[in-house]
Structure 1
Amino acid sequence: MFLYYLLAQFFSYFFSCVSRSAVENTVAKAFYVVKCLYLLVSAWQIRNGYPQLCIGNLLTHAYGLANMVCFKVFMAVPFLFELRTAIDWTWTDTSMPLFVFFHMENFFAVIYNLKCARTFEQSYPVPRGVPKGAIVKYMMGLPMILLIVFLVWCPLLAFSLLNRIGAISIPDKVRLTVQLEGYPPIYEIESQGSELRAMYPDELKYLTDTMSKRYFPFPNGTDSMKRSRDCVSFIKEYSTNDVLVVSFRPESEVPWGISEESMSALIEQLSGNSSINFIVTAEISRPYDSTKKEATKHTAHWSQEIAPNTTLRTQWINMLQNPGAGQTVSMAEAFPSYLLVPSEGAVVVPSPIVDAIQLNQDNYQRPLNASDRDWFDTLKFSLVNSTLGNVWVVQAQHPSQFTSVYFNASKITYGVHRDRTYVQTIAFVDKAFPSFFAKYLQGGVIAMYISLVIVIGRLIRGLFTNSPTDVMITEIPNPDFLLKICLDIYLVREAKDFFLEQDLFAKLIFLFRSPATLIQWTRYKAKRD
């Protein structure tokens, strides 16, 4: 009968698959093996007869090392002990309430582990008064030392190798959008393909050499040299493949799509006293990630108010009213020449480079009230007529007070107006990490150390330190008597003698509540001749 059922299971599981062969069906093969083992145990029980009294379970019938390891694994699996105990209480006749039943199972687990430990000590006795050998000390102590040192060193190691590990994921698209708040973008362009290139080695060397020499001996020469060293250290973390030179065509790729009514509303708003913001948005897209099922995007926004009753507003109004008249509007501090693309999150400016540009310029005293964006490029806008409509043209200009720290953009090689230059920025791109690792690094080294101390530190401390009162239980020399009481409780429960079940459990509770009696009953008895 067993063989017949086995063949039926075989054909059922392996030939019911229509989309793939039986050899490739891992789930069906695993289920088939489990079913075979289950049927073998059932056949053995049918042949030998079901016992009237069943004490304990399969793992606790012996007290060897293998049983102890398997039982500890069983106890370590989350919710397995609780589920098994709840099932036993539900379908077993007992006089114990549910939580008392849990206490009983917990007592048995502790006592069983003690019995296994004492059995192991008897099987492999250690002579008293003999120091531990060098092999034992180095096999156990050295890995522990290395593990603790590694855990303490891990956050620093992660941050020191932050840009040397991970996968290279250079952006394949960069989009730049400029708009007046509340109105259609005036300039939209997407850079990709040949307009995105890695920085040449000589360019990276020039930038490194320039920043290494960018300091002044006095005043505050120490701070100036520190900023220079920090900037050089930052640049050296990136190879030429990690530094992306992004070039945007000066002409917007789409005509300005604004209606006549919206144009009138914009001019009216610029003529009045209401606030209006000038917004520049950069969106950097990495290649498609098959694990995340999407392409990672990083964005950044820079906004500045066009103050009312200023010459700048008048220039905007004149240009909007007379497109194609050759007028230009300059927006100072509009777009950065250097960007930092992190592994996750928004695009930012590279602080070490910014500090070296702003604070290490020789022969220039930066005003105390200077803007944080005084190193940004100025964007010059002009509105020209075309066959498709009005098109905005943008040209970038580096700030004149900072010298030798910018790269000049190349001129365009198409169209009629070849005197125009690309709008250029340089992006330092961090390597991409798995999502869980990126979130772990996101909080910084301090947050990593705090999580390490709180989580892993407490876990390790809990393995090696216990309450002094725990010694009364963990160092019981002879747990046989306690184990016999537990087995007797299981026995009388199967025999449905519930009065005796409660009496034996009360006896077990009394022993744990009375240390003196517990010591008396768990010590080894002296053998009489």
Structure 2
Amino acid sequence: MYSSGNPTNIANPVKDASVQIDIKTVSGRLTLYQTTLCEKIPWDKFNDDIDLDPQSFWDTYNENDIQLICCQADASILWLVPSVVQTRFIQSLDWDTDMDIIFTWVLTRDRPKGKEVVKYERTIDPVDLPMRSDVQKVLNGSMNSFRIYNVYPRYFRVTGSGDVRPLELEEISVNADLIINRANYEWWSFNDVNSSGVTGCGGLTGPMAIIISEEVPPQGIIGDTLSKFSIWGLYITFVLAVGRFIRLQCSDLRMRIPYENLPSCDRLIAICEDIYAARAEGELGVEEVLYWTLVKIYRSPHMLLEYTKID
């Protein structure tokens, strides 16, 4: 069934990407940085003098599935939080509660159906967070930036079933400065402090990642099953469910031989009709004798063969 469904996988590149950074305290959650201005650059579009894989991570993958995601450093939304809300939020940083910073990649692909949008969300480890006093100074205008370490891994793998996972070989994390720009309007910027070590984004210092999007089966009942539920879904659907149904239909065939595979059942049918007639006439004694006669015939294979011979 699988081979007849054209099992050749096809490329499934990332069509859209966005980044968001939130800060969370007991007072709630604020979005500091968000951008949807991310460029998707295929692996084969790079010049030969640009080496994005100096440690040969991607040698085992198809180059058509590898992309470089380059995002703008400046946020695509303005910082429009009212001053009274900022003041309350700054006060919450003085309380003895946790402060979390959450980084999120949102990636969009064409397949699998129902899982076109995948998300990688990471809560920064407390040891990598900036000091609360630095965050307060940035929010109240005393400073312009604070630094976060190990924000997200540089290399990702998006599976065929729609999961986003850091590359298993080696996790290279990104350090970044979050900067607030104050002019006629206010907005946040993301400055990758290690961006000079990654060429190919044309000088952009915003969030960047190298992503491999695994190939998926083409559309169709088998392809959709594999895309949504992987090979285990195909196994459970066809081997367990369908196989079990067929097995139930074919099991205990030997028990059906006395009822479905006898040469001639005219005499047995005549006994059954006599039982029905005796019951209808109220001859219950005759009915009982005929019933036990029929039971005795079925209990004895020899008698069953004698009664079902072809005349």
TM tier relative to shorter chain: 0.7 to 0.9
CA 1:518–1:202: 2 relative to 1, 3 Å:
same
Query: 1:386 maps to which residue?
Result: 183
- 1:238-258, CA deviations, whole angstroms, 9 ceiling, x for partnerless residues? 342x32322110001111121
2:154 corresponds to which letter in structure 1?
Answer: S
- Using the alignment, how far apart are the partners of 1:330 and 1:482 within structure 2? 92
- Using the alignment, how far apart are the partners of 1:381 and 1:295 within structure 2? 31
- 1:483-510, CA deviations, whole angstroms, 9 ceiling, x for partnerless residues? 5667x58xx89xxx94499959946566
Deviation at 1:313, TM superposition (A): 2.1
- Using the alignment, how far apart are the partners of 1:514 and 1:198 within structure 2? 78
Q: How does 1:351-390 map to 2 (within 5 A)?
A: 351=168, 355=169, 357=170, 375-387=172-184, 389-390=185-186
Larger helix percent: 1
Deviation at 1:338, TM superposition (A): 2.0
Query: 1:286 maps to which residue?
Result: 109
TM-score (norm 1): 0.46
- Using the alignment, how far apart are the partners of 2:304 and 2:259 within structure 1? 9
- For structure 1, list consecutive stretches of 5 or more residues without a partner in the other structure: 1-149, 213-230, 359-374, 401-405, 413-419
- Conserved? CA contact 2:35–2:75, under 8 Å: yes
Choose which of 285, 296, 300 in structure 1 pairs with 2:116. Answer: 296
1:298 corresponds to which letter in structure 2?
Answer: V
- Pairs aligned (count): 296
- Conserved? CA contact 2:106–2:119, under 8 Å: yes
CA 1:203–1:453: 2 relative to 1, 3 Å:
farther
- Using the alignment, how far apart are the partners of 1:463 and 1:285 within structure 2? 44
Choose which of 142, 147, 150 in structure 2 pairs with 1:333. Answer: 150
- 1:319-355, CA deviations, whole angstroms, 9 ceiling, x for partnerless residues? 22226x5x4322111122222223444422233xxx2
- Using the alignment, how far apart are the partners of 2:136 and 2:261 within structure 1? 89
Larger strand percent: 2
2:98 corresponds to which letter in structure 1?
Answer: S
Matched, 1:250 2:41: no
RMSD: 4.3
**Greater RCO, CA 8 A, separation 6+:** 2
Query: 1:314 maps to which residue?
Result: 133
Tell me, what secondary structure is at the counterpart of 2:298? helix
Tell me, what secondary structure is at the counterpart of 1:284? strand
- Using the alignment, how far apart are the partners of 1:425 and 1:471 within structure 2? 67
Deviation at 1:441, TM superposition (A): 1.1
- Conserved? CA contact 1:184–1:257, under 8 Å: no
- Conserved? CA contact 2:130–2:148, under 8 Å: no
CA 1:514–1:440: 2 relative to 1, 3 Å:
farther
Choose which of 11, 14, 17 in structure 2 pairs with 1:174. Answer: 17
Deviation at 1:189, TM superposition (A): 0.3
- Using the alignment, how far apart are the partners of 1:209 and 1:246 within structure 2? 18
- Using the alignment, how far apart are the partners of 1:380 and 1:408 within structure 2? 19
Deviation at 1:275, TM superposition (A): 0.2
- Using the alignment, how far apart are the partners of 2:21 and 2:187 within structure 1? 13
Query: 2:167 maps to which residue?
Result: 350
- Conserved? CA contact 1:184–1:256, under 8 Å: no
